[in-house]
Every structure is written in C-alpha cells, then in structure tokens.
Amino acid sequence: MMLKTDSYNKKNKHRKKILFITGTRADFGKLKGLIEHVKNNGHFEHGIFATGMHLLKRYGSTINEIRKAGFKNIYPHINQDDVVGAQMDYVLANTIQGLGLYVREFSPDLIVVHGDRIEALAGAMVGSLNNILVAHVEGGEISGTIDELLRHAITKLSHVHFAGNRQAKKRLIQLGEKPANIFVIGSPNIDIMLSSRLPSLQKVKRRYRIPFKKYAIFSYHPVTTELPLLKKNITTVVNALKESELNIVIIYPNNDTGSEIIVQEISKLERLDRFKLVTSMRFEYFLTLLKQSSAIIGNSSAGICEAPVYGVPTINIGSRQNKRFDHDSIIHLSENHNKILDTLQKLPKKSSPSLHFGKGNSAKLFGEILKKESFWKRSCQKTFREI
C-alpha cells in the first residue's frame, strides 16, 4: 500500500536533504520542533551540523542533548577551543571551513539557519557560495547590538525566510526580499512552550539541584559593541542582585567575546546560599523553570520572546535588546544600581500571555511549505529588488 506522502517522491529521484545548523542550546531549542517534523516526514532526510557551544565542556557538551533527542545524521564540528569569549571572526572562519567540507559530502538541498549567531552566518555564506538554497528562520527582527547586523547579513545571503511575525515580514521586504519568498510561521519554540511535553518543575529542580521554592532567573550576555563598559555594567548588576534578597538561578552567558568578564563576576555568587549557577540547561527544562519563575532578569532574548508567552515579568537591563518587541510584562532599565534594586524589591505580578511570536503551529506550517513543489523551484541567484 502506497502512502500519500510517496506521491511527492514519485516526482523526485531522491528525498530532499535538509541540513540544520545549530551552534547553541538556544538555537537548537528554536529549531528542534522543525527538525522533528522533518524527521517524521517521509518526504525528507534530515541532517544536523552541530558546532559552537554544543562541543564545549564548559557549557555542558550539549551535543549529547541533540543525540538524546533521537536525531540521526549529526555531524559535530569543533569551531573553537574551550576558552571563554572566543573571537567571533576566528569562530566564523573555522565554521565556514568545516561546513564547506561537509556540504560537499552531504550535498543538502536546503540549509536551515536560525537567528543572528556566527554559526548561522557561516551557514548562509556556505550555502549561497555553493548554490544551495538557504532558509533563514526568524529574520527581520531587530536589536541594539552586533547581532542585528549579523541577522540582516544572514537575510541577504538567504533565499527563503520563515518569519516570526508580520512586523518582521515588513522589515524583510524593506531589506529588498521578495514577498513570495517570505513565510510567516511564528517562532518554532512556541510549539514546545505551549505543548504538554515539558517536564515537571520538581523534575527540573531535582536534575539541576535547585533548592528554592520561589526564585527568579538571571541571564546576562556580553554586548560586543560595548565591551569597554562590560566590567562596570556586570559588576553593577551583580551588586544589585546581592542586595535584592531574591533567590536566583543564574544561567551562564553565551560564548561571545567578553563572556569571561561576566563569568568572573557571577562566579563570586556561587558561595552564597541564595544563588544557584547553572552552566547549561536543556531547553524544555529551562522553559519549565521560566514558566514557574517570579521573573527573568538580565539581557537575554528569552526575556523578550519566551517570557511574555507565559506572562512572566522581564527585567530587561541595558541595550542588548533595544527596539525589539515590547510587552506589558517587560520593564526596561539601564545598568543603574538603585533602579535595578528598587525594581527587584517590587517585582510585578504575572501579566496576560502574549502570542506575538506564534500560536504553536510553526512546525506544521513549515512542513506544509516544504511539501509544495514550487518551494524547490526557487533560483539561488538573487538580484537587487527596487522598492
């Protein structure tokens, strides 16, 4: 008996090969639902190029989490050594070299990249230079740092765009992308956030040895365009955390240049009973922890994209998330000790949830688009589009 899905394969000599690029615990969480959909669909063959923080012991060797998720065809590539704050140009060059060799062996029909990380830029560059279709997930977003430049550069190197919302689609059109190549599917991580697959809070606390009944989360990353201010800023924030009397779960920063300065400061809190430091956390476990938290503090995009879905208050500090989506649950502050401390001592209650970044059906929409024969007829030759 022939399945309906085989009708696509009759028209094609081989199953389409889709290669996903992931360099961090965060972007894997965003892509996981899409990879699962491709894996479970008879039309396609999936591959995962895992690099970046996934291969670093300091960040928990999260390549193992990809393996535990049941995915096959995983290609691990070390693009940096286990030193905090690797130079981004060095990481980019190493990723391009490794990925370039790999795509000539795997011969993917589509490379899928996410967001604004160096690994995504490498994926888009290698794809475009090898005449391979590149799909960019969550392009068209804005922020106040080097991340925004990287994201828009990835957009121009990509052929197809899976946007998180209509505002992002408008920005992609402003950047000269053809509307026919832009699909609004929402943010794929919302699928997982709104699913019934999340672990219990008890299980999360047991796994990461978190003793607190009530707690807030702290996650703070380097602003690479403001490195001279980083030492002063993180010291100010950490001092406010110490005076706040809150129980706080601290998640290690990403591995961008300057992260060693943050690690040095947050490590000073490890001896204090009110703080629990976690180098890395599985995405689903993080979501459960976030959902039940009093607030998320710092400058992580999780405070902008994920926290509002649960109505969890965000204390967004500094410029890293400038001009991004805003919501009633988000409080914006500069690195000012008194203002931070005052806000932490008077945390707001949870607000109504936001579905700005999707309704939990991104993977389904993604799969429906890929199954259309017209999707694969796009040219890799991009031309300037007059507006």
Higher pLDDT, 9 or 239: 239
For 219-267, the pLDDT digits (tens) are 999 998 899 999 999 999 999 999 999 999 999 998 888 999 999 999 9
Q: Supply φ then ψ for residue 218, to 5 degrees.
A: -125, 130
Question: Is there a domain that residue 384 lies in?
Answer: no
Quote the pLDDT of residue 313.
Answer: 97
Question: Is there a domain that residue 44 lies in?
Answer: yes
CB 279 within 8 A of CB 82: no
Whole-structure pTM over 0.85, yes or no? yes
Answer yes or no: do 128 and 248 share one domain: no
Answer yes or no: do 155 and 258 share one domain: no
Report how far residue 138's alpha carbon sits from residue 299's, in angstroms, rounded to the nearest whole number.
19
Answer yes or no: do 124 and 266 share one domain: no
User: Cα 325 vs. chain centroid, distance in angstroms?
Assistant: 15
> HSE of 135 in the Cβ direction (CA atoms, 13 Å)?
25
Q: Exposed e or buried b for every residue in 341-350, given b needs 16+ CB within 10 A?
A: bebbeeeeee
Answer yes or no: do 190 and 209 share one domain: no
Q: How many domains does the chain have?
A: 2
Question: Is there a domain that residue 21 lies in?
Answer: yes
Answer yes or no: do 140 and 237 share one domain: no
Q: Residue range 131-150: average pLDDT?
A: 92
Is the pLDDT at 322 greater than 70, yes or no?
A: yes
**Band of pLDDT at residue 5, cut at 50, 70 and 90:** very low
Answer yes or no: do 139 and 285 share one domain: no
Answer yes or no: do 240 and 94 share one domain: no
Question: Is there a domain that residue 351 lies in?
Answer: no
Q: Which domain holds residue 92?
A: 6-194+359-377
Question: Is there a domain that residue 1 lies in?
Answer: no
Is the pLDDT at 4 greater than 60, yes or no?
A: no
**Band of pLDDT at residue 85, cut at 50, 70 and 90:** low
Report how far residue 255's alpha carbon sits from residue 237's, in angstroms, rounded to the nearest whole number.
19
Question: Is there a domain that residue 134 lies in?
Answer: yes
Quote the pLDDT of residue 268.
Answer: 94
**Band of pLDDT at residue 106, cut at 50, 70 and 90:** confident
What percent of the chain lies above the pLDDT cut of 90?
Answer: 80
**Band of pLDDT at residue 83, cut at 50, 70 and 90:** low
Question: Is there a domain that residue 327 lies in?
Answer: yes
Report how far residue 380's alpha carbon sits from residue 134's, in angstroms, rounded to the nearest whole number.
9
DSSP 8-state secondary structure symbol assigned to residue 164: S
Is the pLDDT at 25 greater than 80, yes or no?
A: yes
CB 362 within 8 A of CB 185: yes
For 107-134, the pLDDT digits (tens) are 999 999 999 999 999 999 999 999 999 9
For 337-362, the pLDDT digits (tens) are 999 999 999 999 999 999 889 899 99
Answer yes or no: do 371 and 320 share one domain: no
Answer yes or no: do 166 and 24 share one domain: yes
Answer yes or no: do 290 and 372 share one domain: no
Question: Is there a domain that residue 120 lies in?
Answer: yes
Answer yes or no: do 217 and 290 share one domain: yes
Is the pLDDT at 185 greater than 90, yes or no?
A: yes
**Domain CATH number, residue 166:** 3.40.50.2000
Answer yes or no: do 132 and 240 share one domain: no
